Homo-oligomer: A and B are copies of this chain.
């Protein structure tokens, strides 16, 4: 069994941003030297997501608008904000909605994706350094 671990750091200019990290996932797979197994891709912060979807900028805007309906930013609405001095409770709820991790299958030496699948980092409270862990395991 082989494993390999790498980390990505993001410091986005906008507070919410969606970034395609599929190439970095493949780099982790290659560095691990596995042809069969999994790559875990997981946000290391609780106000961010990792997800699989479409490389289509219109959809990324739809996702950001939709999250603003699902969990409005409205800082005054949340106890987390009043108790801690934070204003980002909505970012936590958005992380829970979309999830913070995915597992990518590896088959015959490649990420075993369907035709349109790509991996994304979803930043819901950026403008500061935040990390993603990539961990490949297989043989």
Contacts and interface: CB of A to CB of B under 8 A. Distances in A.
The number of times this chain is found in the oligomer is: 3
Interface in A37-63: 37-38, 40, 42-46, 51-54, 56-59, 61-63
A5 B5 CA distance: 23
Interface in A1-27: 1, 3, 5
A105 interface: yes
B66 A93 contact: yes
A80 B66 contact: no
Interface residues of A, number: 59
Contacts of A46: 52-54, 114, 116-117
**Taking chain A's interface residues, is the majority helix, strand, or loop, or is none over half, making it mixed?**
mixed
Contacts of A93: 62-63, 66
Nearest to A42: B105
A92 B54 contact: yes
A71 B80 contact: no
A112 interface: yes
Contact of A79 (B58, B81, B102, B113): B58
Contacts of A130: 114
